[in-house]
Amino acid sequence: MAHDTAHHESNTAKIWKVFILLSVITIVEVILGIIKPAFLIETTVISMKLLNWIFIILTVWKAYYITWAFMHMEGETKGLRRSVVWTGIFLICYLIFILLTEGDYVYEVFKAGHKSWDF
């Protein structure tokens, strides 16, 4: 069996710490989303607003904590961890890359094409 019940000490303190961290990240996201600092919107990094990059990085950071601490991925074997996490990350990055590139292409066609789509 996976768990030897006698040797499990409580992780309560760590759980609350992760909860506080996740809450703080969410609060930061919401505050940034409401005030929308001008310099973060005006700065563009790899054809996206810096603010959006910050949101995405904070989200991935949150996702990491949920998976590692709450879903206890850190305690699983390397094999399970990699087969789940790497498979997901690889396929998701691949799909996003393809679809966003295609979406941007379609946008250019709409904008530069002979036909008006807003008739």
Partner 1 sequence: METAVTKTGAEDKTWGGGNKPLKVSYGKMMMWFFILSDALTFSGFLAAYGFSRFKFIDSWPIADEVFNHFPFLHGVDAPMYYVALMTFILIFSSVTMVLAVDAGHQMKQKKVIWYMFLTIIGGLIFVGSQAWEWKNFIKGEYGAIETRGGQILQFVDADGHRVALKDVAVLDSHKEREQHERKNGLWFQKEGTLPTYTIGEIKTGFEKRSDLLIRTQILNEKGEKTVLSREESWRRLQADAIGIVEGANLQHNEYGTPLFANFFFFITGFHGFHVFSGVVINIIIFINVILGTYERRKNYEMVEKVGLYWHFVDLVWVFVFTFFYLV
C-beta of residue 51 within 8 angstroms of C-beta of residue 41: yes
Kindly state the smallest distance separating residue 104's Cβ from partner 1, in Å: 5
CA 111 to chain centre: 30
Determine contact, residues 44/50, Cβ cutoff 8 Å.
yes
Binding site for partner 1 (CB under 8 A): 1-3, 5, 8, 10-12, 15-16, 18-19, 22-23, 26-27, 29-30, 33-34, 41, 52, 55-56, 58-59, 62-63, 66-67, 69-72, 76-77, 79-80, 84, 87-88, 91-92, 95-96, 99-100, 102-104, 106-107, 110-111, 116-119
* Tokens standing for residue 111: 């904008």
Measured from the CB of residue 59, what is the shortest distance to partner 1 in angstroms?
4
Give min distance, CB of 48 to partner 1, in A. Answer: 9
CA 34/CA 58 separation, integer angstroms: 16
Q: Smallest distance from the beta carbon of 39 to partner 1, in angstroms?
A: 14
Sole residue written with tokens 């996740």: 22
